[in-house]
Amino acid sequence: MVGTPADRAEQVVADRPVGLLATKFHVPQPPPGCVPRERLGRRLEDSLGSELTLVSAPAGFGKTTLLAEWCRHRQQPVAWLSLDAGDNDPVRFWRCTVAALDHVRPGLSEQVAGQFGSPASIESLVTTVVNELTDEGVDGLLVLDDYHVIEAEPIHASLRFLLEHQPPALHIVLATRADPPLPLARLRAAGRLTEVRVADLAFEPSEAAELLGEAAGWQLDQDDVAELVARTEGWAAGLKLAGLSLPGQPDVARFVESFSGSHRYVLDYLAEEVLEQQSASLRGFLLETSVLDRLSGPLCDAVTGRSDGQQMLEAIEAANLFLAPLDEVRGWWRYHHLFADLLRARLQYQDPAKAVELHRRAAVWHHEHGHADDAVHHALAAGDDTWAARLIEVYMDEFLVRSEGATVQRWLAALPGELVASRPRLLLPRARIALLSGEVEGVEELLDTAERTASDVADEPYEPSIGRAASSSVNIATRIALDRAWLAGLRGDAEATTVYAEQARAALHEGEWMVEVLTRRLLALADWLRGRLPDAERAFAACSADFVRAGELMPSSWCSLYLGQIQCAQGRLDAAVETYQETLELTAPADRPALPAAGFAYVGMSEVAYQRNDLDRALDDATEGVRLCRNLANGQALAVGMATLARTRNAAGDQSGALDVLEEALRVRPGPTVTSLLNPVPALRARLLIAHGDVEAAAQWTSERGIGPDDEPTHSEEAAYLVLARVLLARDEPEQARGCWTGSTHPQSPAAGSAA
């Protein structure tokens, strides 16, 4: 590898999974003057007899330095991950964690790459990780540094799951400023937890003497050392700053006696002393680069306007000024968090306008280098909300495709609400997420607002990072029409689905491949809603094939589920099995864990097995399908899977278990107004209520659904009309029931077959 240190660092970054900085996986090098903590090293070695080691203390107590020094002297492989606020996205957190675990189990990232289906897929992913590490008998450490930045409950839940199913040879270490919401009391009582806290990390006089000697360049009087330890309470950062300040003090004893107050007070005072000892050039560089969370020579040059960033960083590290390298090639560094906070506060006090400009320059550099999260962060810090909004629009599709929707939501939450409401491309992701889950309430209002504001941004250039062909947001008019068609389809309105899908097609521009296939998929849905099954079958098959050719397995599998259901409705069960098996060959190959997208196929296979009265197979496939579909944002697939699971349990005599499944399905998704063709759960629950003798509850449901015996039954609500027929039969009204029954034009469909 050739080039400058920053070039080499960028190459390391490029070799990592998309969006991950290599510095996050680097075990930090001990800073100059680092004092070995042998007693704590022995404590950490002893901790390997437990399952979790918690290193918990406020900033500046040397948590990271201690763990880094310990890890560097171990033969055991180490998976190190330095966390930051951006890791609160569950998918990003586990993408990073798995990449770190590659150091313990090489090839793990590739093995589980396809399982990052959505934030909900994490439990399935963690299960696979546990199985892989257990099967391989891997012996290693997983160190999560700065865990206190994690606030997302789904991440805490996934870590609790990992601790409950921890591979025997994997030891987990958390470094944090505050205790995480994990079952610490239970782990402590079971002897599964080792704790290293403030009292353990505090420097003893002998350790402090060595640290001060390294920093000050001479040996202090034993009494002075003891006094400093007492006044700092063994706080590593305070002792280190004292050591940096000592060379300029004419009276060491008086200087030591001046220490008083809280850690923050001491740090403020000493930082002022340390900064005043530096040259004006160096002080300016420190202040200007303090806006950066990570520093490299080229980035510092772009922010400061200087050309000596690399040399300055190396000089600052040599001067022991709280700068830590983040990689082996000295390409990236970071300031100690406390030191950075102080520098930023001083910069803001001295020249707030300068701070704004520095953040702006940082945003430009990060955007040019494809660091999306950093670019958005600095644009927001610069106070330029409109620019931040445009950056979010650029990266939005890329992050949604990577299932890092939580990051997009975090970005949007940082913007003023009125700004989001004025930019259609920021409204449309919210509509898309709601439609995927089947929650249709509120979507129309989002789309109306997006349509009203579309003309305001029509002339703005837009180049999505994912590319125009793969973007589903590149064409606002088409996206709005697609979502209106999708909404109409969920409501079972075939005519409106067709009208809006044709509007989307008319607004298409050349090269917009993704939205073109999505348009055809919605037209296929309209045919299905009308009962035009052969036309719908051909259209879904073509869309699925196009998605496969583009490597888009998730939408392809979704099309395959619909395709198989249509084939079942025509009585062609063998064709449906072939459709689902082809999907499984792509999403659940024999040598790899099943992708979440395989849930579509397992759900479909369970329906076929149920129709063939193979209840054992139906139960197995439905259970696996539901497990995988829980990992998807697609609520319809989960609803179909849970309905089949409930039917199978009921047929096997487990009526209570069937109702339990349906009650859960109703609580989860999709919404109750979704057509019964796409959400069979409410209709099936009503049928089971009739079987339990609660006819009136089922009748109330059909009334709320807005259907009656005098209506002309529609294909999209076939299951609901069959429930109505059962209600009428139970009320001894056979003639009216006959109208509902004979109105079912496809008696071999799953709904009709099950009712019969």
Q: Where are the beta strands (DSSP E) in 44-139?
A: 52-56, 78-82
List, in sequence order, every residue forming a beta bridge with 405; answer none if it has no partner: none
Sequence-distant (≥ 6) Cβ neighbours of residue 430 within 8 angstroms? 412, 446
Overall size of the chain counted in residues? 756
Mean pLDDT of each 10-residue bin along the chain, 756 residues long: 39 38 84 82 90 89 91 89 91 92 87 67 80 79 95 92 90 93 91 91 88 68 83 81 73 72 60 78 93 95 95 84 79 85 88 95 95 95 95 92 84 94 92 82 92 87 89 91 95 95 94 94 96 96 95 91 95 96 92 84 95 94 89 81 91 88 80 84 88 86 82 82 86 78 47 37
**Angle, helix 513-530 to helix 553-569, in steps of 10 degrees:** 20
**CA-to-CA distance for 106 and 111, rounded, in angstroms?**
10
Per-residue exposure over 55-65, b if at least 16 CB sit within 10 Å of its own CB, e if not: bbbbbbbbbbb
DSSP per-residue codes, 372-428: HHHHHHHHHHTT-HHHHHHHHHHHHHHHHHTT-HHHHHHHHHTS-HHHHHT-HHHHH
pLDDT at 19: 40
Question: 441's torsion region: left (phi>0), alpha (psi -120 to 50) or beta?
Answer: beta
Beta bridge partners of 323: 335
Q: Where are the alpha helices (DSSP H) in 108-221?
A: 108-112, 122-136, 153-164, 184-189, 198-201, 205-216
Structure-token pair, residue 352:
């707030």
What is the per-residue pLDDT for 276? 77
In whole angstroms, what is the distance from residue 516 CA to residue 657 CA?
43
Q: What is the pLDDT of residue 254?
A: 78
Cα R_g (the chain), whole angstroms: 31
How far is residue 278's CA from residue 287's CA, in Å, rounded to a whole number?
A: 12
pLDDT tens per residue across span 164-198 = 999 888 999 999 988 999 999 999 999 999 999 98
Give the bridge partners for 173, in sequence order: 53, 143
Pull the structure tokens for residue 489.
Answer: 């389809």
Question: How far from 131 is each of 123, 126, 157, 248, 628, CA to CA, in Å?
Answer: 12, 8, 18, 58, 16
- Where does 36-200 sit in CATH, by number? 3.40.50.300
Structure confidence by residue, pLDDT tens digits, 539-553? 999 999 999 998 888
Average per-residue pLDDT in the chain? 85
Q: Can you give the pLDDT at residue 756?
A: 31
pTM: 0.78
- Taking phi first (over 0 means left), then psi (-120 to 50 degrees means alpha), and beta for anything else, what does residue 130 get? alpha
The residue ranges of every structural domain in the chain are 36-200, 205-276, 671-756
pLDDT for the residue numbered 420: 93
